[in-house]
Copies of this chain bind each other. A is one copy, B any other.
Amino acid sequence: MKVALTKVTMVSESTLKEPIVALIRRHGATGFTLTKVEGEGSRGVRASDWGGRNVMIETIVSPETADALLEELSSAYFEDYAVIAWLTDVSVLRGEKFLRKGS
């Protein structure tokens, strides 16, 4: 049985990797995927200026958790860091694996 969930994708400079992973864990997500990427963003900052490659972090959560994650990411980092984030609707088989225990 498929469950409708939300994928949160966050792309940031590599220095934010650990804080973002901690943020994901605080929101009860059960897993995440990291990909090394390069990028150029709306702040006009190129990957090569960031002293390293960027990281794309993806986690699949409930729609409510996705909104909460995005809001906290935004208020914590959007002002001062080159970070972007977006939500995508996804369908997951055995979706219960992705949901916080107790929720």
Contacts and interface: CB of A to CB of B under 8 A. Distances in A.
24 contacts: A2-B70, A2-B87, A5-B86, A7-B86, A30-B42, A31-B40, A31-B42, A32-B39, A32-B40, A34-B37, A35-B37, A35-B38, A42-B97, A42-B98, A70-B93, A74-B94, A84-B92, A84-B97, A85-B93, A86-B92, A88-B88, A88-B89, A88-B91, A89-B89
Contacts of A92: 84-87
Interface of A: 2, 5, 7, 11, 30-42, 54, 56, 60, 70-71, 74, 78, 84-94, 97-98
The quantity of this chain's copies bound in the complex is 3
A27 to B, nearest CB: 14
